[in-house]
Amino acid sequence: MSEEGYMLLQIGPQHPGSGHMRMLVKLDGDVIVDFIPDVGYVHRTVEKIAETKLYIQNIPLLEKPILNDSGNANLAYIIAVEKLLDVEPPPRAQYLRTIMAELSRIASHLYGIGILSILIGSSTGFMWAFGDREIFIHLMQMMSGARITYSYMVPGGVRRDLPDQFREEFRKAARYMRRRYKDYEKIIIKNPVTRARLEGVGVLSREKAIEWGTVGPNLRASGVAYDVRKVEPYAAYEDIDFEIAVREEGDCYARLLVRFQEIMESLKIIEQALEKIPNGKILAEKYEKMIQPRAKKLVEGTGRIKFPAIYVNLKPPKGEVFSRVESGKGEITVYLVSNGSPKPYRLRFVTPSFRNLLTFKNLIPGHRLADFPAIYGSLDYFPPGADR
């Protein structure tokens, strides 16, 4: 009990409803009057370490904070490095990147939906979403060879070409997911329990969302049609026709619906990308010709890039760049300063969860404690991302 007669409650870090953080809530009865997130439990000093690593070594490093959406984290960094180096990947690579980014987005959304479901006590939702996530992980594994940490994109292109069976497998996955969506609708979306727990809870108004700099589906669920894929098209998004999922309500339920809608939209994007994908190289000419002649045969035979030696010693010219991409959780921005040495001088990596932290902090007060997990889950907050 604090002086004013409020009760102080500590949640986490060892708690199913907290993830990797501690939260201090001040309660009046069961209404939250004040909320202090105590973050930093996963602060692994990524920005400092990045200054001690070579540009190529930072690719896997920067995936780690956003591990459940690593395709997009990878892309944000690579776009920044490419802007510095002034290389343009060939069109086929751009399409492959788009496919990767979208698959990663679907996996990330399913992860978020699963966590939200378990937080509001629906084990079915968790099991279904995580089970279906495995399908998309399988597809990404086909493309890159890894389950979670893809490191698929490299400066100037991508690491591997599309495997032969990919189209077939994806068609199956898309068909399955569409059919599955109907089940989700019945069991989770229209479930009276889900609606009772989420509808009208944690309402984030449009003005506040803008003021607090909210990102991603949380922003779009509050009626702001902002999506980096449309605003500043990167990869192959310019040639692809898709819609931004926007809702006006701004409550937890709207955020859930936006995620589902984006999954369906992503399936369409990948289908289009697979249709339009041009033939050709997957690595920029500049680096392609530096591959050793002996390795070249291998590259042509297997569609797998053997890195040219230059990658160890990438030295971008002096300068600074800023890149942004739309990941599953929201906008990732990278601010990269180079002083001409093989290591970044400064790398600022702002993750969507870190930007949503302020929203989270300000949104909670005024709600009942029982609504706390629902709001937390609906923001798709990922502590390793926020803490970096």
Partner 1 sequence: MELKERIETIVGSTGEVRIDRGNIVVEVKEPKKIIEIAKKLKAEGFDHVKSVSGVDYSDQGYFEIVYHVSSYSTPELAKAILVLKVKVPSDNPRSPSLIEIWPSVEMMERETYEMYGIIFEGHPELKRLFLPEEFEGVYPLRKSFKIKEEGIMA
Partner 2 sequence: MILIGNMEEFLRRAAKWLIEKKPIRDVRDWGIHFSLWPVHLTTACCGVEFAAVSDPKYDAERFGVLPFVGPRQTNFILIEGTLTRKMARAARLVYEQMPEPKFVIAMGACAIDGGIFWNSYNIVRAHEILPVEVFIPGCPPRPEAVIQAVMKLQKKIKRGDYYYGVERED
Residue ranges in contact with partner 2 by CB under 8 A: 13-16, 19-20, 22, 40-46, 48-49, 52, 60-61, 64-65, 67-68, 111, 114-115, 126-127, 130-131, 133-134, 147-149, 384
Give the number of residues in contact with ligand SF4, rule: CB under 6 A.
Answer: 2
Could you say whether residue 230 binds ligand SF4 (CB under 6 A)? Answer: no
Shortest spacing between CB 111 and partner 2, in angstroms: 7
Alpha carbons 338 and 360: distance in angstroms, whole number: 34
Read off the tokens for 331. Answer: 């906008």
Mark 167-201 as b/e (b = at least 16 C-beta within 10 Å): eeebeebbeebeebbeebeeebbebeebeebbeeb
Q: Are 213 and 305 in contact (CB under 8 A)?
A: no
Shortest spacing between CB 110 and partner 2, in angstroms: 10
Query: Using CB under 8 A, which of the segments 35-43, 171-179, 257-265, 275-283 binds partner 1?
Result: 35-43
Shortest spacing between CB 312 and ligand SF4, in angstroms: 22
Instruction: Name the residue with tokens 């995580």.
Output: 130
Going by their DSSP bridges, the two strands 331-338 and 22-28 should be labelled as: unpaired
CB nearer to partner 1: give 288 or 320: 320
Name the closest residue to ligand SF4 (Cβ).
Answer: 64
Could you say whether residue 43 binds partner 1 (CB under 8 A)? Answer: yes
CB nearer to partner 1: give 105 or 324: 324
List, edge to edge, every strand of the sheet that includes 31-38: 7-11, 22-28, 31-38
Alpha carbons 160 and 333: distance in angstroms, whole number: 25
CB nearer to partner 1: give 274 or 350: 350
Shortest spacing between CB 383 and ligand SF4, in angstroms: 12
Site residues (CB under 8 A) for partner 1, limited to 273-312: 312
Shortest spacing between CB 51 and partner 1, in angstroms: 8
Alpha carbons 348 and 161: distance in angstroms, whole number: 31
Instruction: Name the residue with tokens 């909210």.
Output: 214
**Mask for 231-270, x = binds partner 1 (CB under 8 A):** xx--------------------------------------
Alpha carbons 387 and 40: distance in angstroms, whole number: 5
Q: Are 282 and 90 in contact (CB under 8 A)?
A: yes
Which residues form the interface with ligand SF4 (CB under 6 A)?
64, 67
